[in-house]
Structure formats: C-alpha cells, structure tokens
Chains A and B, each alone.
Chain A
Amino acid sequence: MHTFDLSVDEISKIEGKARLSVVVKDDVIEKVQFSITEFKRFYTQAIRGKDVAGVPQLTARICGTCSNAHLLCAIKAIENALQITPSDQTVLLRKLLNYGLIIRDHALHLYFFALPDIIGVDSLLDLDENNDEYHQILHDVFEIKSVGNALGKTIGGRSVHAPFVAVGGFTRLPDEEHCKKLIAELEALRPTVLRTITLFQKCTFALERKIKYVSLKSNDFNFLDGVMTMHDGSTLSDQEYSDYLTHVVIPHSHASGYTFQSDTYMVGALARLNNGKDTLHPTTKKDVKNVLSLFPSLNIYHNNLAQALEILHAVDSSLDILKTLTIAQEAPQAIIRKKSSGIGIIEAPRGILFYSLSIDETGKITTVRIVVPTGQNQIGIEKSIREYLTENLHKDKQTLIGEIEQIIRAYDPCMSCASHFLKVSWKKKHS
C-alpha cells in the first residue's frame, strides 16, 4: 500500500507560476491539485470604460508570451462589434504576424520546456555544444526562434506587443523589401523544422485521454478564423460555443477553470491537428505524410509533435503569402463608435482564445469576457495527473514528480494568461 504526499511549490519550465500538490493514502488518491499561483491583475475590470481603440494594446499586456494573439483576438471582437471589415492586405499581414508568433512560441515551448525532459537534462542551457547532437539542437532552436521573431518584427514592429497592429488595420505598414528578405530565411528554415518534427516524433511518452478536443477549423488552417469544430466533426456557432462554456471556480487556483458541454476538454495544437490536419498546407502534408498518420491522437504528449508540425505549416503558409505580397499604402479603417457587442475567437498558440465585448455609444467598453486556453485546459491537466497516478503509484517520488511535470508541460500551460481575470456575471442577450 502506498502512502505519500508530493509537493512542488514552483513548477519550472512553464510560462508563469504554478504549484502541484498530491496526497495518496493507502493507495487512494485523496488530493491532486494543480494550482495556478499567479496573482490576478484584474484586466476585466481595467478594460471597462476604455475606448475601443486602446483596448487591444492594453489586453496584449495580459501575456508577454502570446501577446499578439490577445492583440488580434481583441481586434477581431471589436471589428465584429463595429462591423469593420479589414482589407485583404490587412488580413494577410495579420496572418503573417500570427505565423511568426506560432513559429517563435512553439519553438520556445518545444525546446526550452519540453525537450529537456526527453533528453534527460535540467535545462537546454546545460547542453554541451561539443556534442554533435546537442550542437545541432542548440543551432536549431535559435534559428527557428530567430526567424519567427524576425517575421513578427517585420510585420508588427516588434514580436511582443506588436505596436503597429490596430483596430481597422496597421498604423505603420511593413517594408516590402524587408518582407521579401524573409523568403530566403523561411526557405532555409524548412530542413531545421523537419529535424524538429523528427525529434519529437521519436518521443515515446504516452498518456491517452479520451476527452473532447475542440478547435477552430478553417479551410487553410490559418488560426485566425474558421468554424468551431469538435473531435467528431460536429460544428458550433461562436455563440453556441460561448453558451456551452461553464465557468468553474477552482478554490486552490487563482485562475478560472472551464468545462465544455459539462465535460473535460482540450484545446491547443493537438485538438487543431486532430480536427483539421486535412487543411494543413499542401507542402506540409506532402513532406510529413507519415507523421500526420499519427493523428487524430488521444496521446496528450502528441501536443508537442502537433506544435512541431504547426511550425512547418506556419513556414509554408508564410512563404505562400510573402511570395505574392505587395504592400499598398493604406490607412486603418475608420472606427465608427456605436452601441454594440461582438465576439472574437482565434486559435492562440495554446488553443482557443475567446473575447466577448460590449461597447457603449461612445466607444467605451462596458463588459468584457475573456476565456484563455490554459483556463480551458486547467481541469484536464488535473484529471490527466490523476489518471497517470492511478497507474503509477508504485514509482518513487522523484520519478512521479518528474513525470507529472512532463504531463503539465505537454499541455503547454500559460499562467500569465490564465490568472489575470476575475469572473464577472454574464448574461446572455438575445437579439
């Protein structure tokens, strides 16, 4: 009979702060708590009363990791509310900005957070560059991140809190010549990304979770629009998705949890691949055909592999856009303020990001609801840990802690995003 308690006050190699606490008595798992310990910054309150033009840059500060996803999602909600239709050029530039984020952010998670567990080191920074394999890994991570970063900087002015991105368009347009220079860098990056995919394909970690996998599905896997899609192929409207989300207070966590249709579910790269692998870029599909046969997958560690595949898709999709891109000088669409409400949903690197805003007749925000990916995955993380423990109580404490941390990292949680809201009462309005 196993009796023990496990406690990790600060889990390393994740975005932000989280705590783990497990109590097992006579082979009975009495407690599994994955607690997000980041203090709230109360953005839902701070946004109220702010003019729509300033809101996206403020909400970008919710999270430095995926700031441009918050920027784009807030803009989408506001433009939907105010019936602003972005130009074709703006749509393309936003896609490029987001592909830069996907490349940069997935590479950070895969190499700095997930890979050390796979190769058995504490930190990527511990790798000996005189070892050929490790030298290649160090080269690859910095090359991928660097190109993703350059894409974000070129399009948005900076890869974090991109300053040129605004409601209605871009306040400053990228230089066409600088854009064209990225083509060679992205083409040169493809072999590196293929190595990354192979690296994570070799990982034998497994934990199957028979839960709902939910994502936006578009016809070109573009992350910024599409139809809410379930693992069984059924679809939902944005409003239905909103209605099916149930807020769950998790007493030991600073962050809100969610269930979907009263069930545990997962959002993120694994859900996107499970639901939409057929819509990946044709060149990506051709080059990783065998790897894609692993999807749909119930193995939550395949979230890592799915992220690696998404990097290649982001590279190929960016190349398509850049090769035909011409920059016409255009100002952002005018903002005509009016009483309205709007929903914005996009696929952030870690999954579905949801904004719902109400605006008064002067353009000030009156109510806001923001649901982030990690909030949606939080209950699933805890349940995954519990499921893992039921089969592994015989292992020693250090192994258990290490493997539980691996599970958490596979979900790629972002605590900065998850903890900085306070749930407010929300009444559905019928038109």
Chain B
Amino acid sequence: MTNKKKLRVGWFSFSCCEDSTIIFTELLNDHYMQWKNYIEFAYFLPLQKKTSFQDIDLSFIEGAVTSEEQEKMVKKIRDCSQKVVAIGACAVSGMPSGQRNTFDEKTQKEIAPILLRFTYASMVKKIADVIRIDAVVPGCPMDENIFLKVINTYLSEFGIIKTG
C-alpha cells in the first residue's frame, strides 16, 4: 500500500568509517524502487546537498561522538527527530572509534597536541552516552537484516505502510 505521506528520514555520520552508510547504499540496490514511495530524506549529505531539520520522523546516526561540537549536533538531531536509531558499532558501543579512550599515558601524551588543536573532547562517547535513543542496529558494519526490521517497524508505526 502506498500513502502520500512519506517517512522523513535524517541520516547522520559522526566519527567512524561510514561503513553503515555504504551498507545502506547497497541496500538501495534492492529496495530503492520500493522505498522511494515511502521515504524522503530530510538530511543525507552523502547523497544530496539540500538539508533540513524540519519535522524529521526518524534519524539514523552512525559513528561515535568525539568533540563537543559533535555532541551539540547529536542533541540537535534528538530535538528534531521523533525517533533516533544508533547504527553500527561506533554509534552503539563507541568502538573502534573510541580506541583512544584506552591508550596508555605515553600514547595519550603523543596525541594530546592534536586533541588540543582541533578541540576534541577528552573522551569518545557512544550515542546513548549523549542522548536517549529508541533503537539500535549493531554490527561493524551494521547488520543489514536488523536494519531492515527496524526501518519496516517504523514505516508501519508511522502509518506509511500497512501491515498485518
């Protein structure tokens, strides 16, 4: 069933290798013709220039939070989105992007000038350390089957598709 209303999705990347974005672009190979009827992107910089924070139904966040600037952005996403899903290992667990949290004192001193120069936060955080999240898609990269279940759940929950 199609419906005029589409799910407004935001797609955001922070500190990570963006593997979940790549997995999503591969999922488009099989699902684009279906999803174009159900989904519109409010924010998805790898695929479009136009951006909007207005009325976002569902935001996906990949990557860990490694600066105060990023932390503010994550909070803004939470404020603008009805639902927020953390995707991929870095967003869900903070690792491996957070590996500097585990460095010994000598290595911490080695990287300290860079942290200072570009205003890094003292510790890398997972998304749930910064905001409340509604669901997770774990995996490195994100598990595509779990992702499909999550997105179908929200398509149903927001009344975009009818199930049952």
User: Is chain B found bound to chain A in the same assembly?
Assistant: yes
Chain A residues within CB distance 8 Å of chain B? 10, 12-17, 38-42, 45-46, 48, 58, 61-65, 67, 104, 108, 112-113, 122-126, 129, 138, 142-143, 145-146, 149, 158-161, 254, 416, 422, 424
Q: Are B18 and A16 neighbours in the complex by a CB distance under 8 Å?
A: yes
Q: When chains A and B are docked, how far (Å) is the Cα of A412 from the Cα of B36? A: 26
Q: Which residues of B contact A129 (CB under 8 A)?
A: 33, 36
In the complex, the chain B residue whose C-beta lies closest to that of A139 is B33
Most chain A C-beta atoms within 10 Å of own C-beta, residue among B20, B49, B140: B49
Interface string of B15-26 (1 = CB under 8 A from A): 111111111011
- Flag if A159 contacts B96 (CB, 8 Å): no
Chain A residues near B118 (CB-CB < 8 A):
39, 254
- In the bound complex, residues from chain B placing their C-beta under 8 Å from that of A108 are 22, 25
28 A-B pairs, CB-CB below 8 angstroms?
A: A10-B45, A12-B45, A13-B48, A13-B49, A14-B46, A39-B15, A40-B111, A41-B15, A41-B96, A41-B97, A45-B103, A46-B100, A46-B103, A64-B17, A65-B18, A65-B19, A112-B47, A122-B49, A123-B47, A123-B48, A143-B29, A145-B25, A146-B26, A146-B29, A149-B26, A160-B19, A254-B118, A422-B114
Q: Which chain A residues border B46 with CB–CB below 8 Å?
A: 12-15, 112-113
Shortest CB–CB separation between residue A127 and chain B, in angstroms? 10
B17 lies within 8 A of A416 (CB): yes
Closest to B14 in A: A39
Contacts of B110 in A (CB 8 A): 45, 422, 424
Task: Verify if B154 is at the interface (C-beta below 8 Å from A).
Answer: no
Contact assessment for A42 and B100 in the assembled complex, using a CB-CB cutoff below 8 Å:
yes
CA distance A208 to B33 in the complex (A): 39
Residues of B within 8 A of A112 (CB): 25, 46-47
- A12 near B49: Cβ-Cβ < 8 Å: yes
User: Other than the known A39-B67, A41-B66, what 11 A-B pairs have Cβ atoms closer than 8 Å?
Assistant: A12-B47, A13-B49, A41-B97, A45-B100, A46-B96, A48-B107, A65-B18, A65-B22, A123-B47, A125-B32, A416-B17
User: A-facing mask of B129-164, CB < 8 A → 1, else 0?
Assistant: 000000000001100000000000000000000000
Chain A residue numbers with a CB within 8 Å of B29 are 142-143, 145-146, 149
Task: Please measure, in the bound complex, the distance between the C-alpha atom of A159 and the C-alpha atom of B22, giving whole angstroms.
Answer: 10
- Given the interface pairs A39-B120, A142-B29, A145-B25, the reply to whether A64 lies near B19 with Cβ below 8 Å is yes
Q: Which residues of B contact A17 (CB under 8 A)?
A: 13, 45
B residues near A416, Cβ cutoff 8 Å: 16-18
A122 touches B17 (CB 8 A): no
Does B32 lie within 8 Å of A142, measured CB to CB? yes
Check: B2 CB closer than 8 A to any chain A CB. Answer: no
Near A by CB (< 8 A), chain B positions 1-42 give 13, 15-23, 25-26, 28-30, 32-33, 36, 41
Nearest B-chain residue to A414, judged by Cβ:
B18
Smallest beta-carbon distance A293→chain B, Å: 33
Q: What are the residues of chain A within 8 A of B47 when measuring CB–CB? A: 12-13, 112, 123-125
- Give complex CA distance A158, B141 in Å: 10
Question: In the complex, what residues of A have CB within 8 A of residue B25's CB?
Answer: 108, 112, 145
**Which A residues lie within 8 Å of B97 (CB)?**
41
Give the residue name and chain of the B residue nearest to A150 (CB).
B29
**Chain B residues whose C-beta falls within 8 Å of the C-beta of A123 in the assembled complex:** 41, 47-50
Contact A64 B20 (CB under 8 A): yes
CA distance A326 to B158 in the complex (A): 50
Bound CA–CA A399/B48 (angstroms): 17
A54 to B46, CA, bound (A): 30
Output the residue of B13, B19, B140 with the most chain A CB within 10 A.
Answer: B19
